[in-house]
Amino acid sequence: MKIEFSIIDSHALLGEEYHLTLDADELLRRMDTHGVETAIARPMGAELAVLNREGNDRVLQAHKRIRGLVSVNPWYGPKALDELKRCRDLGAVGLFLHPSRQGFMPTDDHVRPLLDFASQANWPIMFHTGSYVQSDILAVGEVARKYPRLNFIAGWGGFTDMWFELPGVFAEVPNLHLDASMMWGNAISQIVRDRGAERVLFGSAEPRNRYGVALECLERAELTKEQLRAVLRDNARRLFRLP
């Protein structure tokens, strides 16, 4: 696929988790190979679940071409908010929450202070979706309806257990966006056709997935040049407030 503009990757992972590992230097090498100018990266493994400061420092200090999608475990309460304030001052561009790994439901009351902070910081919030039962995309949709001025992103698009819920949720929740990093061409094209290209973000899910695979899936979606530009660059630039 020939692309004549820079690409923004809206979902990469840095750190270690079981058999997966990726550091900033290797991510930059893969970005250069596939014409990716900027990557939005979040922590993984223990640095996502419990060692939040270490994981956030990893993504915030990675490189000027890698922007931090930081995370905190909502069970940390006021300490979680203090960490988000620190990350905001260090240039974080959004909040990532993983209900399955961090042990909560999106609708739990103790998550609300984090959502309120993200709203004040004008951050988008990406929820991991697809692992039943905590990472329920229907629960994320319910939360998004309560914060209509806040942009939500369905991380991995409900992969693997709940992708079939996407059309209904996206029809009802206009401030919900799709991270297409683990999706296939037909699913991407259906959301673009029914809800518009402005609702979809290109992501790699490196190292869980690969740039080559994600770009090939997007090519199979058979988007127009204008739609492709929105998905590969413009939507991420708008949501993450990138220059």
β-strand partners of 13: 42
Give the residue-averaged pLDDT of 176-194. Answer: 95
Q: For the whole prediction, is pTM greater than 0.85? A: yes
Span between the terminal Cα atoms of the chain, in Å: 25
Short-list 171, 168, 175, CA closest to 153: 175
Domain ranges of the chain: 7-239
Residue the block writes with tokens 């739990």: 108
pLDDT at residue 164 greater than cutoff 90: no
**Helices H, strands E: what count in the chain?**
12, 9
What per-residue confidence (pLDDT) applies to 22?
98
Assigned token pair, 213: 């695979």
Q: Is the peptide bond before 148 cis (omega within 30 degrees of 0)?
A: no
- pLDDT classification of 161: cutoffs 50, 70, 90: confident
Give the residue-averaged pLDDT of 50-79. Answer: 98
Q: What are the tens digits of pLDDT across the range 7-59? A: 999 999 999 999 999 999 999 999 999 999 999 999 999 999 999 999 999 99
For the chain, what is the mean pLDDT? 96
pLDDT at residue 2 greater than cutoff 80: no
pLDDT at residue 162 greater than cutoff 90: no
Give the containing element (helix H, strand E) for 82.
helix 78-89
7-239 carries CATH number 3.30.470.30: no
Q: Is beta strand 36-43 parallel, antiparallel or unpaired with respect to 66-70?
A: parallel
What per-residue confidence (pLDDT) applies to 160?
83
Q: In the chain, which ranges are E strands? A: 7-17, 20-22, 36-43, 66-70, 94-97, 125-128, 152-155, 176-179, 200-201
Q: Is 89 exposed, middle or buried (0-12, 13-18, 19+ CB in 10 A)?
A: exposed
| Torsion angles phi and psi, residue 220, rounded to 5 | -70, -15
pLDDT at residue 163 greater than cutoff 90: no
pLDDT at residue 114 greater than cutoff 80: yes
